[in-house]
Copies of this chain bind each other. A is one copy, B any other.
Amino acid sequence: MIILDGKGLSIKILERVKKSIKRKNLRLSLAVVQVGENSVSQVYINQKEKICKAVGIDFILYRFSEDITTDKLKEEIKKISDNSDISGIIVQLPLPKNINTQEVLNAIPPEKDIDRLSEESFGKFSSPARPKPLAKEDGDSSILPPVVCAVSKLLKEYKIKVKGKNVILVGAGKLVGKPLMIWFSREGAVVTVVDKNTRNPEYFTKKADILISGVGRPNLITGEMIKKGAVVIDAGTSSEKGKIKGDVDFKSVSKKASYITPVPGGVGPMTVACLLENLVILHKER
């Protein structure tokens, strides 16, 4: 069993990002929009701040109270976008229930949408007019939703082929399942998406050559649910007693998997690295 070292690979990517910023003397700023208080969100925001500092990107936090309306929040995001000093904007999810998340995400213009979560960005990703030329110094990264970028780079790093493989995605959400179903299908995999409506998920998960879970429920995926030799990628995030947890029961799954991502140190840091890489790429395209 081989551990897919997301942490290690993310450091390599971030070093490349840092060099690229330094060499070209780029002045980049990441704007993070936070609404209300949420201890887990705070952990993620702090991580991003730390990494931004390390690679030389200004970090600006915009905090709004949780009783802000959807319309008001959209206005604020438009103001932030209009500021030419801001290179990229992310909205820390989840937003409070009274807010229409997708409408808020749609307020971020594609050229600053490093999370690729607006309907416009998702459209560009799913219906590409032409593949972007590869920026050599940034490796293989044209702009992709961060989780897709994270997963594709991990698979590439460990020379795990996708074409013709049986891929099972657990969860069909906006951050993980939906973009990955488009990407894996485009890469020639046989993709199956299972979710909470699936009566017998293990029937499907047991057939997976590559299984990716993005639900947000600890220990959802156990050893009995996978076949021997499967590649298991844990893109779930939830918190248990203040600790970030994935979806995969590492102990039982790692006994059967050929490759597995740990949590922490797997998809998480890769996603942040991809996010900042997107920031640099989008800045260069402007």
Chain A residues close to B by CB (< 8 Å): 100, 102-103, 105-106, 117-124, 126-130, 163-164, 172, 174, 177-178, 181-182, 185-186, 188-199, 204
Q: Judging by beta carbons under 8 Å apart, are B122 and A120 in contact?
A: no
- The answer to whether B126 touches A197, judged by C-beta atoms less than 8 angstroms apart, is no
6 interchain pairs (CB within 8 A)?
Answer: A119-B120, A119-B123, A123-B123, A123-B124, A164-B197, A190-B197
Copies in the complex: 2
Q: Say yes or no: A178-B126 contact (C-beta < 8 A), given A164-B198, A193-B190.
A: yes
Q: What are the residues of chain B within 8 A of A192 when measuring CB–CB?
A: 190-193
**Of the candidates B103, B122, B127, B172, which one forms a contact with A174 in the assembled complex, judged by CB atoms under 8 Å apart?**
B127
* A163 with B123: CB separation less than 8 A: no
The reply to whether A129 and B119 form a contact with Cβ atoms under 8 Å apart is yes
- Judge whether B124 and A119 touch: CB under 8 Å: yes
Q: Which residues of B contact A189 (CB under 8 A)?
A: 197
Measured CB to CB, the nearest residue on chain B to A184 is: B193
